Amino acid sequence: MIYIHWDPINKFVVWGYFTIHIYSIMFFLSFLIGWYIMKSIYELENISIKYLDSLLIYTTLGTIIGARVGQVLFYDFSYFFDHWIEAFFPIKENKTHFLLGIIKGYEFVGFRGLSSHGATLGIIISSLLYRKKVIRKPFFWLTDRLCIVISLAAFFIRIGNFFNSEIVGKPSNLPWSVIFYQMDSVYGSSLIPRHPTQIYESIIYLVVFLLLCIYFFIKKDQYIVGYLSGLFFTIIWSFRFILEFLKESPQHEQIHHHMFWLNTAQYLSIPCIIFGIILLFIIKQNKNCFS
């Protein structure tokens, strides 16, 4: 059996000790390309692009703050309770032995723990604030357009996870299984072929992005406010729920894991799926209810 051996360069060193991680590049690209997509949408609908700068600020803050808070509360609360400074700043405690003693310091590592469910909640809150204080459009008018760029951003972020050998899958004998040489030790031996769940997810997100683009840009005459948001929540989180069965659970998850064989991400995905289905049902009953 032939497997994919994955041992990439995941960061670049520039200006001495300053490093740029590929994950960070993917994160930056998601916002940059997203800004240009929103620019084309605003121009298409004759909306001044002066509102875009505020949208970028609100969405960026909502994403980062929400994702970090979600990671702290939903996944690693016990760790961050004892390392609270790492919850707020992109640093990690670094202990070094020196002359039989221990020097305690911190090193810059960036925000490595980001929750997509927390990011979703953060974007919802920032969108409510943006539409109230800046653009004054219906809430689902805004989220329909944001869902397009968020789908593409999720694609880029999962590619970044793949370069970092993060969020890996369970052992697999499929021919496209991947051996992650840079895996964290919590998953055991790095010589075990595994499902490339990051790639599975990235493909789904890209397909959803294309689907939403087709509906919005090509079939715009059939556009119904709220429909794209309903599709996004239903499809994205349904596949996320299913793919969690193929993912390896981190050690801290395994301790309180699997009531009814579900993990934390699956429990958090269920309300999102229900929200999407309810939204589609309401729109089916009354197509103009959110206009």
Amino acid identity for residue 63 in this structure: T
Choose between 258 and 77: higher pLDDT. Answer: 77
pTM: 0.84
Which token pair is 21?
Answer: 């991680």
Question: How confident is residue 201, by pLDDT bands cut at 50, 70 and 90?
Answer: very high
pLDDT, averaged across the chain: 83
Question: How confident is residue 77, by pLDDT bands cut at 50, 70 and 90?
Answer: low
What DSSP state is assigned to residue 66? H
What's residue 100's pLDDT? Answer: 42
Give the Cα separation of 71 and 89 in Å (integer).
Answer: 13
Q: Which residue ranges make up each domain of the chain? A: 4-76+113-285
- Nearest in space to 118 (alpha carbons), one of 128, 126, 130: 126
Give phi and psi for 73, each to the nearest 5.
-80, -40
pLDDT of 256 over the 60 cut: no
